[in-house]
């Protein structure tokens, strides 16, 4: 029997994980999740603050205090209901949110010691239920009815923002149809984030829960090509949500970028994750098997690509980043995991050129040595080249994880849509509405590359507005 007493001074319960030397050779999930006892012990550290700061840090407004309170009392179903009430994808968020800068970043316990492991607790609660039963759990019905079947809403893209919109509206009885360009649903959750960080099974369960609630999923429908916004308006959709992400990979425009062996992180991860290329030839999509890999960038995507390359048998994997560890945008946990698994960090270096052999294949990369200068507008120290100092790195593959821009397909097909000067969709920050009436947008296609949870936050705002307009 777990001790239910509040114990804020005890240390944060560590997360069980696969040992680094073992996990760097498989695609199984790195972190194994709390047991019931661990979850109760960790929940018991929560102070149940009168004015909980954690909640203001959560983009989807989870009632964190309440869910942890129920959990500490051992009432997991009630904790699940609280979370699921505002978050359509708790098992996902518990795994991939940057908690250290959101909920946990605001936790009062963090001032002196370690904050509550809110993400881990959210994951525990979500994992305790198969998401298939979510509908029953929340409403008492096995299949949710759609009482408002005179209404219809369309979502373009099936990533986290659209799934949130669908979850919110389906819970209010509105039929939602999600159009997805790829053959699998989940957007970045399936093509971008590797299995060892977010198992496909988890995403599939959350999607199946939405399906049980009556959400319709249409694969292979490309927004802007197979179906346009105007088609949907003509078809009588009451509201349309655009959540197509920002998927166009950026390149650096340095010499050698089109050599064989140079990949965008998007291509590399899509091959491995969506195409299951790690299981070639059981699956048909081929993957490269280099020995020495350089990944350019310092975000989560760079860490994902680097750790994937290790798992596919690369001997040396380098992260080349133009600042230092302290400025890296990746989640603290991912950085830590990458280091443990043996990813090498080439800090304060910036690629100048990628060099090829006579067959057009990558053989090395030339790096400019950098140093940190004065802080720039973002408040981070600006990397400045150290004149004349370069280094050479022998690599047979280079992965560019330097960001993505707005994909042009839907935007070109929708000339009435106002865009920002960076080419993203202009949307009202309060409602998510675009320049076209009743057409909403959210997630990376509005904000530029951001996080799963911020996309979900945008989806939630838009869904609330849509629900209000539809009177549900």
Partner 1 sequence: MENKIVVKKSLIPGQTSMLVIDAPQIARKAKPGNFVILRVHDKGERIPLTIADTDPEKGTITIVYLVVGKSSAMLETLKEGDCIPDVCGPLGKPTHIEKSGTVICVGGGTGIAAMHHIAKGHHQAGNHVVAIVGARSKDLLLFCDELGCFCPELLIATDDGTHGHKGFVTDILKERLEKDKDVSEVVAIGPVPMMEAVANVTRPFGVKTTVSLNSIMVDGIGMCGACRCSVGGETRFACVDGPEFDGHKVDFNELKMRLSQYKDQERTSLELFRKDHG
Part of the chain binding partner 1 (CB under 8 A), chosen from 61-69, 105-113, 123-131, 401-409: 401-409
- Write out the binding residues for partner 1, residues 82-141 only, by CB under 8 A: none
Nearer to partner 1, 255 or 342 (CB): 255
List the 239-242 sheet strands across, edge first.
Answer: 216-218, 176-179, 153-156, 239-242, 439-441
Identify the residue whose tokens are 């009743």: 438
Is the CB of 137 or the CB of 218 nearer to partner 1?
218
Comparing CB distances to partner 1, the nearer of 249 and 383 is 249
Select the span of 137-145, 263-271, 366-374, 378-386 touching partner 1 (CB under 8 A): 263-271
Between 83 and 181, CB nearer to partner 1:
181
- Contact between 418 and partner 1 (CB under 8 A)? no
d(CA 56, CA 234): 40
User: Using the rule CB under 8 A, is 271 a contact of partner 1?
Assistant: yes
Q: Shortest gap between Cβ of 227 and partner 1 (angstroms)?
A: 7
Q: Interacting stretch for partner 1, rule CB under 8 A, among 20-28, 100-108, 196-204, 246-254?
A: 246-254
State which of positions 209-228 bind partner 1 (CB under 8 A): 218-222, 225-227
Q: Does 415 bind partner 1 (CB under 8 A)?
A: no
Interface pick for partner 1 out of 285, 316, 390, 435 (rule CB under 8 A): 285
Count of residues interacting with partner 1 (CB under 8 A)? 44
16, 21, 56, 283: which one binds partner 1 (CB under 8 A):
283
- Gap between the Cα atoms of 157 and 179, Å rounded: 6
Q: Whole-number minimum distance, CB 96 to partner 1, in Å?
A: 19
- What phi, psi does 93 have (nearest 5°)? -65, -40
Q: How far is the CB of 444 from partner 1 (least distance, A)?
A: 12
Nearer to partner 1, 219 or 373 (CB): 219
Task: Kindly state whether residue 252 participates in binding partner 1, applying the rule CB under 8 A.
Answer: no
Which is closer to partner 1, CB of 62 or CB of 277? 277
Residue 250: CB atoms within 10 A of its CB come to 17
Residues that bind partner 1 (CB under 8 A): 181-183, 191, 218-222, 225-227, 247-249, 251, 253, 257-258, 260-261, 263-264, 266-267, 270-271, 274-276, 280-288, 359-360, 407-409
């Amino acid at each position: 029997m777990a001790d239910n007493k509040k114990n804020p001074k005890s240390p944060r319960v560590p997360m069980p994980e696969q040992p680094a030397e073992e996990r760097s050779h498989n695609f199984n999930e790195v972190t194994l999740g709390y047991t019931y006892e661990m979850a109760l012990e960790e929940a018991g550290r929560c102070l149940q603050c009168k004015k909980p700061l954690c909640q203001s840090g959560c983009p989807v407004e989870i009632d964190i205090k309440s869910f942890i309170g129920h959990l500490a009392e051992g009432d997991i179903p009630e904790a699940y209901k609280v979370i699921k009430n505002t978050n359509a994808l708790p098992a996902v968020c518990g795994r991939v949110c940057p908690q250290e800068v959101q909920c946990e970043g605001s936790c009062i316990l963090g001032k002196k010691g370690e904050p509550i492991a809110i993400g881990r607790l959210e994951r525990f609660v979500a994992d305790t239920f198969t998401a298939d039963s979510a509908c029953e759990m929340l409403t008492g019905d096995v299949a949710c009815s759609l009482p408002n079947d005179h209404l219809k809403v369309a979502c373009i893209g099936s990533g986290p923002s659209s799934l949130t919109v669908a979850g919110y509206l389906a819970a209010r009885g509105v039929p939602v149809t999600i159009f997805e360009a790829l053959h699998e649903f989940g957007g970045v959750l399936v093509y971008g984030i590797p299995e060892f960080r977010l198992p496909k099974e988890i995403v599939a369960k959350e999607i199946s829960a939405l399906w049980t609630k009556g959400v319709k999923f249409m694969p292979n429908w490309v927004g802007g090509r197979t179906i346009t916004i105007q088609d949907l308006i003509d078809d009588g959709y009451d509201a349309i949500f655009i959540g197509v992400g920002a998927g166009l990979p950026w390149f650096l425009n340095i010499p050698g970028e089109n050599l064989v062996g140079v990949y965008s992180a998007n291509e590399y991860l899509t091959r491995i994750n969506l195409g299951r290329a790690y299981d070639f030839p059981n699956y048909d999509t081929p993957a490269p098997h280099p020995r020495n890999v350089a990944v350019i960038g310092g975000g989560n995507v760079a860490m994902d690509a680097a750790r994937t390359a290790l798992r596919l048998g690369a001997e040396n994997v380098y992260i080349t980043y133009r600042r230092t560890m302290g400025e890296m945008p990746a989640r603290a946990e991912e950085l830590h995991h990458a280091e443990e698994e043996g990813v090498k960090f080439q800090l304060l270096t910036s690629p100048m050129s990628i060099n090829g052999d006579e067959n057009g294949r990558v053989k090395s990369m030339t790096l400019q040595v950098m140093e940190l200068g004065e802080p720039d507008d973002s408040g981070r120290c600006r990397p400045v080249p150290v004149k004349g100092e370069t280094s050479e790195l022998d690599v047979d593959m280079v992965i560019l994880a330097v960001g993505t821009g707005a994909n042009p397909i839907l935007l070109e097909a929708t000339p009435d849509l106002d865009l920002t000067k960076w080419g993203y969709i202009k949307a009202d920050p309060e409602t998510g509405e675009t320049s076209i009436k009743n057409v909403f947008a959210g997630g990376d296609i509005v904000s530029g590359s951001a996080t799963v949870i911020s996309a979900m936050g945008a989806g939630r705002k838009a869904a609330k507005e849509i629900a209000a307009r539809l009177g549900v």
